Amino acid sequence: MIEIKKEGPNAYHFYLKTREGHTLLKSTAFSSKEEIDAVVDQLPALIDKPAVFERQTSHDGKFLFQLRDVGGKPLGSSQYYNSEAGMENGIKNLKNSIANPRTRNL
């Protein structure tokens, strides 16, 4: 599920969530509803491009990933995972969530 929230006078975020409601990714802030809608509309085309997922390891050994657009601009970050396999499963779930979206605007 994709959830769009207004969080401040000029700040919009989208959240990609599992069917159970767990957050897979929180977006960076976007300044307008039109901007965030355009990015959300691009998501299905991005998930087939492996270069848009940047895998990272934190200083304490946790794993996370960033979703980037084709130009390399960060679109959002995942939660922290305890294992690399967990992170890869998070990416897989994120791809499924984007491929089968249910958008809820708040």
Is the CATH code 2.60.40.1180 the one for domain 2-105?
no
pLDDT band at residue 49 under the 50/70/90 scheme: confident
**Statement: residue 18 has pLDDT above 90:** no
In the prediction, which pLDDT does 31 show? 94
Break the chain into its structural domains and give their ranges: 2-105
pLDDT band at residue 101 under the 50/70/90 scheme: low
2's tokens: 């994709």
Q: Which of left, alpha, beta for 105 (phi over 0: left; psi -120 to 50: alpha)?
A: beta
Q: At what angle do helices 33-46 and 84-99 cross, to 10 degrees?
A: 110
- What integer is the mean pLDDT of 71-79? 94
- What integer is the mean pLDDT of 4-10? 89
- What integer is the mean pLDDT of 66-80? 94
91's tokens: 């990416």
- What integer is the mean pLDDT of 32-40? 93
